Chain A
Amino acid sequence: MNGEPLLQVRDLRKRFGGVQAVFDVGFELRRGEFLGVIGPNGSGKTTLVNLITGFVKPDAGQVLLKGRNITGKMPYTIAGFGIARTFQMVRLFYNLPAYKNLIIPLCSSRFKKLRGGRYGERDDVAIELLDDMGFERDSLVPYKVAGSLPHGYLKRLDLARALALRPEVLILDELFSGMSMSEVASTLPLLEKFNQEGLAIMMIEHRLKELFRVVDRVMVLNFGIKITEGSPAEVMASEEVKKAYLGIQVELE
Chain B
Amino acid sequence: MTLLIYGIINSVILALYALGFSLCYGISGIANFAHGAFYILSGFVAWNFMNAAGLPFYLAAVLAVAVTGLLGFLFYWALLLRIRGVPLAELIVTFAAGVGMLELLMWRGFYGMRYSLPLFVRGGVEIGPVAVDYQRLCVLTTGVVLVVLLWFFVHHTRIGLAFRAMAQNERTALSIGVESDWIGSLSLALGSALAAVAAMVVLPLGMMESAIGLEVLIYALAVAIVGGLESTVGMVAGSFIIGFGQVAVARYISAKWMIIAPLAAIVLVLVIKPSGLFGKFKELEERV
Contact = CB atoms under 8 A, between A and B. Distances in A.
Interface of A: 16, 50, 55-57, 74-75
B156 interface: no
A56 B286 CA distance: 5
Contacts, number: 11
Nearest to A57: B287
11 contacts: A16-B282, A50-B286, A55-B286, A55-B287, A55-B288, A56-B286, A57-B285, A57-B286, A57-B287, A74-B287, A75-B287
A51 to B, nearest CB: 11
Please classify how large the interface on chain B is, using the bins under 10, 10 to 19, 20 to 34, 35 or more. Answer: under 10
- The A interface, classified by DSSP as helix, strand, loop or mixed, is loop
Contacts of A16: 282
Contacts of A57: 285-287
A145 to B, nearest CB: 21
Nearest to B288: A55
Given A55-B286, A55-B287, 5 more contacts: A16-B282, A56-B286, A57-B285, A57-B286, A57-B287
Contacts of A56: 286
Contacts of B288: 55
A50 B287 CA distance: 11
- The B interface, classified by DSSP as helix, strand, loop or mixed, is loop
A182 B286 CA distance: 36
Contacts of A74: 287
A214 B288 CA distance: 34
Nearest to B285: A57
9 tightest Cβ-Cβ pairs between the two chains A and B: A56-B286, A55-B286, A57-B287, A74-B287, A55-B288, A55-B287, A50-B286, A75-B287, A57-B286
For B282, B287, B288, which residue has the most chain A Cβ atoms within 10 angstroms?
Answer: B287
A99 to B, nearest CB: 26
B278 to A, nearest CB: 14
B272 to A, nearest CB: 14
Interface string B266-286: 000000000000000010011
B225 to A, nearest CB: 21
B212 to A, nearest CB: 40
Contacts of B285: 57
Contacts of A50: 286
A75 B286 CA distance: 10
B282 to A, nearest CB: 8
A242 B25 CA distance: 47
A75 B287 CA distance: 9
A75 B285 CA distance: 13
Contacts of B287: 55, 57, 74-75
A16 B285 CA distance: 11
A55 B285 CA distance: 10
A157 to B, nearest CB: 21
A44 B285 CA distance: 18
Contacts of B282: 16
A74 B285 CA distance: 13
Interface in B237-288: 282, 285-288
Interface string B125-156: 00000000000000000000000000000000
For B282, B285, B286, which residue has the most chain A Cβ atoms within 10 angstroms?
Answer: B286
Nearest to A54: B287
A31 B282 CA distance: 34
A125 to B, nearest CB: 28
B41 to A, nearest CB: 40
Nearest to A74: B287
Interface string B216-235: 00000000000000000000
Interface in B71-89: none
Contacts of A55: 286-288
Contacts of B286: 50, 55-57
A142 to B, nearest CB: 29
A56 B288 CA distance: 9
